């Protein structure tokens, strides 16, 4: 069942990412042409941003194949954290894109402040900005829903890369619109909008990096999740005093370790059946890929165990 689940999940990641790859390829080529024909440096920069999405799509596909491998002698807990690593790589790419937009915007603003003149963009650049905004926002919503449904941090990170491109296109649209409709004095709106977009992109990338590093550094699951796990463990009245709970995330799955106390006279067969039932309920709530280790201790009296 777990192998089938991993394969189905990998196929879904491939499908979602491949759709994004094709959309990015067509959109980036169209925006580059519109930027050149429409004499819009902002649109050319936006096209470069879209081309960067192609690279992150490839990263997701490669790491999805690795993370879908089953446990083996070298990786007792599987390859799930390779997908977390992919989300960090994508987030770093987001930060680089944000830095590029920031530098480009500052240069354009300096040009205006030193008496220079920014060119008036053509209508084709304005139309391209509108189309890019609509398409990339739709692609973000489609990708982030799929990523959350299958529990893929790398797909969710890639979705935010699409959202950053939509934000970039929004800034480009505002800048081009002001420059096109309001005259020369308003052409500085293009680089100013780019700076605002860069700040949004940096925030998104830093949030994703922080989440990914937390997983790689074995951060425990949220306190509310751990309380829910303890409620599931103690649902059977035969379980007493659960303790030493340890949790972590491994890619799309979680790992749970817990000690429980039971009646010292309970047979081995009964205690085994008890732990199997606990595992079944935890996996029903958190997924079949959940890794669970339950240590059973006999309870001999008030506060006394062996």
- Whether residue 45 is found in the same domain as residue 66: yes
pTM here is: 0.66
Q: The CATH number of the domain where 240 resides is what?
A: 3.30.70.1350
Q: Region 207-234: what's the mean pLDDT? A: 91
> What per-residue confidence (pLDDT) applies to 229?
96
Q: Region 105-129: what's the mean pLDDT? A: 82
Q: What is the pLDDT of residues 237-268, one digit of tens each?
A: 999 899 999 999 887 688 999 999 999 889 99
Q: Which of 216, 251, 267 is the last residue of a domain?
A: 216
Strand pairing class (304-305; 240-250): unpaired
**185 DSSP assignment:** G
Quote the CA–CA distance of 180 and 161 in Å, as a whole number.
Answer: 28
Averaged pLDDT score across all residues of the chain: 83
Residue 176 pLDDT greater than 50, yes or no: yes
Q: Find the domain containing 268 and state its range.
A: 223-305
- Whether residue 59 is found in the same domain as residue 167: yes
- Whether residue 167 is found in the same domain as residue 125: yes
What 3-state class would DSSP assign to 261? Answer: strand
Quote the CA–CA distance of 268 and 182 in Å, as a whole number.
Answer: 81
Quote the CA–CA distance of 217 and 203 in Å, as a whole number.
Answer: 21
- Whether residue 107 is found in the same domain as residue 234: no
- Whether residue 194 is found in the same domain as residue 232: no
Q: Please indicate whether residue 59 or residue 296 has the higher confidence score (pLDDT).
A: 296
Q: The CATH number of the domain where 32 resides is what?
A: 1.20.1510.10
- Whether residue 137 is found in the same domain as residue 66: yes
- Whether residue 111 is found in the same domain as residue 230: no
- Whether residue 202 is found in the same domain as residue 229: no
Q: Please indicate whether residue 277 or residue 38 has the higher confidence score (pLDDT).
A: 277
Q: Which of 216, 236, 263 is the last residue of a domain?
A: 216
Number of domains in the chain: 2
- Whether residue 67 is found in the same domain as residue 134: yes
Q: Which of 198, 216, 234 is the last residue of a domain?
A: 216
CA atoms lying within 13 Å on the CB side of residue 63: 26
Quote the CA–CA distance of 89 and 165 in Å, as a whole number.
Answer: 17
What 3-state class would DSSP assign to 150? Answer: helix
- Whether residue 166 is found in the same domain as residue 260: no
Residue 183 pLDDT greater than 70, yes or no: yes
Q: Region 11-25: what's the mean pLDDT? A: 89
- Whether residue 268 is found in the same domain as residue 195: no
For 85, residues 6+ apart whose C-beta sits below 8 A from its C-beta are 63, 212, 216
Q: Region 267-292: what's the mean pLDDT? A: 92
**pLDDT > 70 fraction of the chain, expressed in percent and rounded:** 93
- Whether residue 25 is found in the same domain as residue 126: yes
Q: Region 111-125: what's the mean pLDDT? A: 80
């Amino acid at each position: 069942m777990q192998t089938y689940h991993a394969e189905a999940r990998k196929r879904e990641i491939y499908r979602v990412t491949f759709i994004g790859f094709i959309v990015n390829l067509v959109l980036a080529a169209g925006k580059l042409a519109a930027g050149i024909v429409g004499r819009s440096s902002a649109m050319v920069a936006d096209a470069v941003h879209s081309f960067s999405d192609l690279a992150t799509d490839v990263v997701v596909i490669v790491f999805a194949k690795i993370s879908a491998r089953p446990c083996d002698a070298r990786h007792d807990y599987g390859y799930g954290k390779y997908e977390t690593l992919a989300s960090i790589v994508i987030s770093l790419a987001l930060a680089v894109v944000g830095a590029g937009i920031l530098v480009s915007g500052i240069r354009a603003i300096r040009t205006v402040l030193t008496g220079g003149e920014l060119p008036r963009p053509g209508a084709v650049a304005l139309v391209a900005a509108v189309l890019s905004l609509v398409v990339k926002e739709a692609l973000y919503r489609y990708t982030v829903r799929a990523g959350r449904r299958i529990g893929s941090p790398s797909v969710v990170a890639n979705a935010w890369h699409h959202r950053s491109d939509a934000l970039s296109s929004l800034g480009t649209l505002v800048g081009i619109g002001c420059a096109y409709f309001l005259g020369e004095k308003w052409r500085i709106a293009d680089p100013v909008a780019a700076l605002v977009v860069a700040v949004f992109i940096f925030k998104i990338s830093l949030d994703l990096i922080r989440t990914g590093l937390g997983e790689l550094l074995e951060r425990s699951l949220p306190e509310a999740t751990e309380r829910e796990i303890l409620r599931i463990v103690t649902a059977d009245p035969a379980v007493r005093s659960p303790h030493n709970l340890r949790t972590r995330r491994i890619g799309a799955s979680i790992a749970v370790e817990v000690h429980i106390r039971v009646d010292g006279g309970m047979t081995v067969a009964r205690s085994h059946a008890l732990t199997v039932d606990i595992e079944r309920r935890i996996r029903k709530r958190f997924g079949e890929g959940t890794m669970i280790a339950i240590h059973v201790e006999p309870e001999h009296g008030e506060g006394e165990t062996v």
